Amino acid sequence: MTSLEANINFYETHYDMLRQWFLRPGEKVVLGDKQNRTCRFCGRTPPEVTFRKVAHAIPEALGNKSIESVYECDDCNEGFGRGIENDLGNWSKPTRTFARIRGKSGVPTLKKGGDGKGWRIEYCAEGFNITSYEDDPIYQIDEANRRISFQLKRDSYTPVAVLKAFMKIGLTLLPDEEVGNFQHLMSWVRSSDHSRRFADQCPIIHTFQPWPMPNDLIAAFVLRRKAHVTNYPYMFLVLAYGNEVFQVQLPSEKHDRALNGQPISILPFPTPGSPDPARYGPSKVRVLDLTGREVVKGEVVSVQVGYELAVHKAGLDAATDA
């Protein structure tokens, strides 16, 4: 059995696909009932709170222009936007730029400092446009393998806030009847006190697919443990955009109690294989450590891009590696 078959087999045996979406711009999905507004996050209803703003079920920065919910009030929407979603945006920006993900104002431009000096990477019609200065190189070119390695600085973020932002996406995508199983998680995700412990040890499995991927497709799945299974986590969100797949556990105080303290060994959710393994190599799976509760400043991320043409047009191949 190949590892892909093993992964498929594992999920067929232990999990049901509760919800699934393949989202492209132009397709609209609205979750919830506009006639019956209750905020899923704070429990409040009009007139105590308003529901005037569009609530993106997946942040717009990740390329989502399709899926909205009607059960996030303006207060919660603003709070998440200023808080954890800002952390997620900063943390994910380097790989989003290389995957050419279009947020609210197009593909983000990465630059060093705000004074116009130093390097700058932006996406334009012809591909990536990279400017740098010789005394401050930000990339190394490996001509034999047609790859460029970049060292990119991340904007400030708090790791556990990034984790909360992923879990908030999961909580938004849950069907109504499941929300009651996640009240502890709901309260933890809403809290701006990042020193509070709860789900900060829950793993995110990250799969990186180093070959060209569509930049406007988002896939989201909600997986629930089958009724006869007890020794695996109850609920997972799987979110895929660009070259990345994030598998996020959503811990339920009611249904995950039996797992307490036990090590869990789980296979990653299966992803389609490489179109050309010899050229791009296999997908890479790792567990993300987003447990940190202090602000991380000036972190450098290494990203590798395969290229086809001249250096100044690198990225047409758009294979990146965080």
What are the residues binding Zn ion (CB under 5 A)?
Answer: 39, 41-42, 73, 76
Q: Quick one: DSSP state of residue 103?
A: B
Nearer to Zn ion, 44 or 111 (CB): 44
Nearer to Zn ion, 43 or 106 (CB): 43
Backbone angles phi, psi at 187, to 5 degrees: -70, -40
**Which ranges constitute the DSSP H helices of 156-274?**
159-173, 183-190
Element (H, E) at 77: helix 74-82
- Give me the least distance between CB of 197 and Zn ion, in Å please: 24
Nearer to Zn ion, 41 or 157 (CB): 41
Nearer to Zn ion, 41 or 123 (CB): 41
* Helices 84-98 and 159-173, packing angle to 10 deg: 90
Q: Is 224 helix (H, G, I), strand (E, B) or coil?
A: strand
Q: Which residues contact 195 (CB under 8 A, 6 or more apart)?
A: 293
- Give me the least distance between CB of 30 and Zn ion, in Å please: 17
Backbone angles phi, psi at 112, to 5 degrees: -95, 125
Q: What does the alpha-carbon distance between residue 94 and residue 118 come to, in Å, rounded to a whole number?
A: 17
- Give me the least distance between CB of 179 and Zn ion, in Å please: 13
Nearer to Zn ion, 76 or 110 (CB): 76
**Which ranges constitute the DSSP H helices of 174-310?**
183-190, 277-280
Q: What does the alpha-carbon distance between residue 133 and residue 184 come to, in Å, rounded to a whole number?
A: 50
- Give me the least distance between CB of 271 and Zn ion, in Å please: 34
Structure tokens at 159: 């790791």
Q: What does the alpha-carbon distance between residue 29 and residue 20 come to, in Å, rounded to a whole number?
A: 12
- Give me the least distance between CB of 222 and Zn ion, in Å please: 21
Nearer to Zn ion, 70 or 121 (CB): 70
Q: Which residues contact 113 (CB under 8 A, 6 or more apart)?
A: none
Nearer to Zn ion, 46 or 275 (CB): 46
